[in-house]
Amino acid sequence: MSFSDLGLSEKVLAAVAATGYTTPTPIQEQAIPHVLARKDVLGIAQTGTGKTAAFVLPMLTILEKGRARARMPRTLILEPTRELAAQVKENFDRYGAGQKLNVALLIGGVSFGDQDAKLTRGVDVLIATPGRLLDHTERGGLLLTGVELLVIDEADRMLDMGFIPDIERICKLVPFTRQTLFFTATMPPEIRRITEAFLHNPQKVEVSKPATTAVTVTQVQVPAGREAHEKRELLRRLLREAKDLKNAIIFCNRKREVAIVHKSLQKHGFSVGALHGDMDQSARTAALEQFRKGELPLLVASDVAARGLDIPEVSHVFNFDVPHHADDYVHRIGRTGRAGRTGTAISIVTPLDQKSMVAIEKLIGQSIPRAEGDYEVNADASEQSDRPREARGRDRERSRGGRGKPQRGGRDRERSHEPREPRGERPAAEARPAAEAKPAREPRPSREARQSSEPRHGSRPQANASHVPSIGRPEPRRQREADTEPGDHSHLPAFLLRPVRSSPAGA
């Protein structure tokens, strides 16, 4: 099957050819003909499957006929985060270069005035996050009665972020007769209910969930002590000694941990950016751009901020924290080893993470080799000295098994008060931070504040470490070996190559 068999217009085919894509991905092959036949589509697919082009390409073909009217967009795409919205716009810019379409982005953190001016000129494609879109409709600056085609993307993430009531409101503002394209990676009951309510006789297209990890990714788990400072020291060592490390994403489970690890790595001379839901938009965009361009080779990120982002060619993924949900592991390590390239995924595993590791190994159907031996980390004097005295005292007590011992089922007591960033497949109320669990309906600013992707606690200054030329301070490196084959562990740090103990999955 080639793109020319799908019914796309000549202009769109030329744009696809210009990008160098020769074969449609399974979701494109299945979805594009239905979209062009103006049918509703229920697409069960994750990012990384080519699903953005699966709706962008046929939309461009459809939009070649007709014109936009002021304040009445012809098509509407809803995205859960600003980054994903911006990424979809990039797709329109890339594939629609030969067409004179007006594409507008309605996301928080950007002035209403500029967005209003765009809407007044008339837009063919409106890409929006739900909160900002409803703000515009409530102000009377936007009418959705001209929408012919509605795309709801990443619906299960919308659920996670508490956007479902907004989605329902928006679905009632667009004409009943519109075409709807609905994409979700999973089908929890709440999402099923929405599809039953708002899709008309949809064509279901499903591409397999990448519950298996790419064979080109070398995975390893490195045991660590449970204290965060020990994990940070181990991380630095892994970063310094990793072979062929071009760039890396370091995943943490919590926003606060992202900020701490980011600051700590900066302090130790690493060129590193951060990405989490509490950062202001300009800091997020800047960090992502610098990482994409290779100016900042390291990015510390939370799942919710990084999920779905198209970041090409990551050589390493580090799990500073083992994710609590196994499918997050698959998402994280899917950032490396893309398109047949080799990649390395290193997880720092504390004794408290054993249960999560068992679930991960069960999901991916393989055991993750464990590095043994020389990974013991001594307390780092420099970092210890920066830590509050109480915290150091608590660490000492913990190591003696005293009062500060972690609570049953949890890690750090103070951490347990910190909301986790939301993730898929959990009930919205549980997934949402406490402040968001009860959505306030009245004051306009609060809607935007409800978007957990948007800044609610003000911006955090992002120190720019781009003047540091290399990934970290120069460290004596082991002699590099010749290029390695997929699955060949020789490009891992030598101390990870001590005898490997493999256990059967789920053992």
Min CB(54)–ligand AMP separation in Å = 7
CA distance 318 to 291: 15
* Residue among 79 and 166 whose Cβ is closer to ligand AMP: 79
54 or 76: CB nearest ligand AMP: 54
Which whole-number Å values give the CA distances from 139 to 77, 118, 130, 134, 219, in the listed order? Answer: 20, 15, 14, 8, 51
Cβ count near 413 (within 10 Å) = 12
Binding mask 48-87 for ligand AMP (x = CB under 6 A): xxxxxx----------------------------------
**53 or 371: CB nearest ligand AMP:** 53
Give residue number: closest CB to ligand AMP. Answer: 52
Segment interacting with ligand AMP, rule: CB under 6 A, options 23-31, 262-270, 396-404, 451-459: 23-31
The token duo for 321 is 């924290």
Task: Please identify which residue in 7, 11, 25, 98 interacts with ligand AMP, judged by CB under 6 A.
Answer: 25
Residue 336 touching ligand AMP (CB under 6 A)? no
Instruction: Considering the complex, state which of residue 61 and residue 266 has its C-beta at the smaller distance from ligand AMP.
Output: 61
Residue 141 CA: distances (Å) to CA of 80, 85, 138, 344, 454: 21, 20, 8, 49, 22
Question: What are 64's two structure tokens?
Answer: 């070649």
Q: Does 24 bind ligand AMP (CB under 6 A)?
A: yes
Cβ proximity to ligand AMP, 24 vs 323, nearer residue: 24
Distance CA 266, CA 333 (A): 24
String of contacts with ligand AMP for each residue 342-381, x by CB under 6 A? ----------------------------------------
Please say which residue, 105 or 222, places its beta carbon nearer to ligand AMP: 105
Parallel/antiparallel/unpaired status of strands 179-184 and 149-152? parallel
- What's the per-residue H, E or C state across 305-319? HHCCCCCCCECEEEE
Shortest Cβ 127–ligand AMP spacing (Å): 14
Residues in contact with ligand AMP, total (CB under 6 A)? 13
CB of 52 to ligand AMP, least distance (A): 3
Taking a C-beta distance cutoff of 8 angstroms, is the pair 391, 228 a contact? no
Question: Does residue number 30 form part of the binding site for ligand AMP (CB under 6 A)?
Answer: no
Q: What does residue 94 show for φ and ψ, rounded to 5 degrees?
A: -70, -55
Q: Which of 30, 47, 271, 344 binds ligand AMP (CB under 6 A)?
A: 47
Q: How far apart are CA 246 and CA 34, in angstroms?
A: 41
Please report whether residue 310 would count as binding ligand AMP according to CB under 6 A. Answer: yes
In the complex, minimum distance from the CB of residue 6 to ligand AMP, in angstroms, rounded to a whole number: 11
- Cα separation, 485 vs 493, in Å, equals 16
Q: How far apart (Å, rounded) are the C-alpha atoms in residues 39 and 394?
A: 61
Assess contact for 248 and 298: CB atoms under 8 A. yes
Shortest distance, position 193 Cβ to ligand AMP, whole Å: 25
Rounded to the nearest whole angstrom, what is the least distance from the CB of residue 80 to ligand AMP in the complex? Answer: 14
Q: Which of residues 380-409 bind ligand AMP (CB under 6 A)?
A: none
Give 42 or 238: the residue with its C-beta nearer to ligand AMP. 42
Complex with ligand AMP: residue 240 or 307, whichever CB lies closer: 307
- Taking CB under 6 A as the binding criterion, the range among 42-50, 121-129, 241-249, 454-462 that sits at the site for ligand AMP is 42-50
Question: How far is 416 from 407, CA to CA, in rounded Å?
Answer: 9
Task: For residue 426, give the nearest of 156, 54, 225, 48 by alpha carbon.
Answer: 156
Amino acid letter, residue 431: A
Q: Which is nearer to ligand AMP, 31 or 53 (CB)?
A: 53
Q: Which amino acid is at 104?
A: A
Backbone angles phi, psi at 353, to 5 degrees: -95, 0
Give the bridge partners for 218, in sequence order: 344
21 binds ligand AMP per the rule CB under 6 A: yes
- The distance between the two most distant Cα atoms of the chain, rounded to a whole number of Å, is 73
Residue (2 or 470) nearer to ligand AMP, CB: 2
Q: Which residues bind ligand AMP (CB under 6 A)?
A: 21, 23-25, 28, 47-53, 310
